[in-house]
Amino acid sequence: MTKTVNDATNRLLTGAPVSALSGAEPKEQTAEERWNSAGIGNAFIFGKVMSANPDLLLELLQISLPEMEIVEILDPRQEEYLKSSYDARGVRLDITVRDARGRVFNIEMQLQDEKNIPKRMRYYSSTLDQTILKPGEDYSKLGDTVVMFITPFDPFGLGNYRYTFRNICIEDHELELCDGSSKIVLNATGNTGAISPSLKDFLDLVMGINKNKDPEENGEKQGMTYADRVQEKVRIAKLNSVLRREFMNWEMTLLVERNKGHDEGHAEGLSDGEILKLVKLVRKKLSLHQSEEKIADDLVEDISLIHTICELIKQMPDENDESVLQEYKQNLR
């Protein structure tokens, strides 16, 4: 059972449905293949669908947090980038939204187990606090916050569908700090705890398990389930060519961020002449309308390094290769 769950999670990371499980080593997918197979468990699709359909987002919060009695939400935001100060590390939040009582919710679709969820939740929560309280305002004005991660793996290994964390007194567990901060993990692989059928179906959808393969069979007016309605909005979103291009750019941005340190080290090991040669080759291939992925493959270079050079060339269309080289070196400092 454990192997099956781990295999399913690995498939989700590449965008493949659980039904594609096999004993063979999965082939790395192209960006196009990842777009074709991406579902609500993909952070980009999740953010786009939920921010564009506040009714679905509200219902997700209601079935996930029934005790909070959320009746209305305001101003859902997708991919909001927050920094507590100019030199602090920024965070890109999947979805942030307020409810009618001023409580702020951050919902994250976290597919990969990077073994850092507790510390990430702490940082996300503190960054939200920094942006909520205006300069000069009293701390009593600080609203309640909820950071909720949805995962296709169990980060704590207890099998719970839901893990809820608040600050309590170690010496007396009945004494709560009441600082208004809550952190919640929804574990799509869980088997313990009472959750609604609607939430269970949604978590199955996160895992790539779609009980109703064709939600249109039910008909919009014939009692489609919550998971059916989510899946239908995913289907509609993926017909949008603009979103498809945004998805490609989003994936590239994530790749660049992940590989930035590696690229800087690699670039520092290259001479000016080698970088200049890369700039010349990339410019020529761009003129032939080659994709960044093909250029990286042809030149046997990291895609994020090629992406950076491509972006500089596009941003400096009237500048020569030497100017692009100098700008690239400036960006490394």
Per-residue pLDDT at 66 = 97
Q: Where are the domains of the chain?
A: 2-239, 242-332
> Residue holding tokens 């205006």?
134
pLDDT band at 269 (very low <50, low <70, confident <90, very high): low
The DSSP secondary-structure symbol of 240 reads -
| Spatial separation of the C-alpha atoms in residues 267 and 106, rounded to whole Å | 36
Contacts of 55 (CB under 8 A, 6+ apart): none
| Spatial separation of the C-alpha atoms in residues 64 and 107, rounded to whole Å | 11
Average pLDDT, the chain: 83
Per-residue pLDDT at 7 = 46
Look up residue 50 and give its two tokens: 């939920």
Residue 172 has pLDDT above 80, yes or no: yes
Give 120: exposed, middle or buried? Use CB within 10 Å, 0-12, 13-18, 19+: middle
What DSSP line would sit under 205-228, residue for residue?
Answer: HHTT--SSS-GGGT-TTS---HHH
pLDDT band at 28 (very low <50, low <70, confident <90, very high): low
Task: For 299-323, write each residue's pLDDT tens digit.
Answer: 888 777 888 888 889 888 888 999 8
What DSSP line would sit under 150-190, residue for residue?
Answer: EESS-SSSS-BSEEEE--B-SS-TT-B---SEEEEEEETT-
What DSSP line would sit under 61-107, residue for residue?
Answer: HHHH-GGG----EEEEEEEEEE-SSTTSPPEEEEEEEEETTS-EEEE
CA-to-CA dists, residue 278 to 103, 153, 235, 320, angstroms: 50, 41, 40, 13
Contacts of 54 (CB under 8 A, 6+ apart): 73, 76, 97
Per-residue pLDDT at 90 = 55
| Spatial separation of the C-alpha atoms in residues 1 and 10, rounded to whole Å | 14
Give 139: exposed, middle or buried? Use CB within 10 Å, 0-12, 13-18, 19+: exposed
Residue 203's Cβ-side half-sphere holds a number of Cα atoms within 13 Å equal to 24
| Spatial separation of the C-alpha atoms in residues 24 and 320, rounded to whole Å | 48
* Partners of residue 78 on adjacent β-strands: 95
* Partners of residue 146 on adjacent β-strands: 105, 182
Nearest to residue 332, comparing CAs of 272, 252, 273?
A: 272
- Are 185 and 117 in contact by the 8 Å Cβ rule? The answer is yes
Residue 32 has pLDDT above 60, yes or no: yes
Strand 104-109 with 145-151, pairing: parallel
Look up residue 148 and give its two tokens: 């909720």
Residue 138's Cβ-side half-sphere holds a number of Cα atoms within 13 Å equal to 2
- Are 128 and 146 in contact by the 8 Å Cβ rule? The answer is no
Average pLDDT over residues 275-283: 92
Q: Provide the b/e sequence for 57-85 (b: ≥16 CB within 10 Å).
A: bbbbbbbbbeebebeebeebebbbebebe
Per-residue pLDDT at 41 = 94
Which helix (DSSP H) or strand (DSSP E) does residue 201 occupy? helix 197-206
Task: For 125-148, write each residue's pLDDT tens digit.
Answer: 998 998 888 888 899 989 999 999
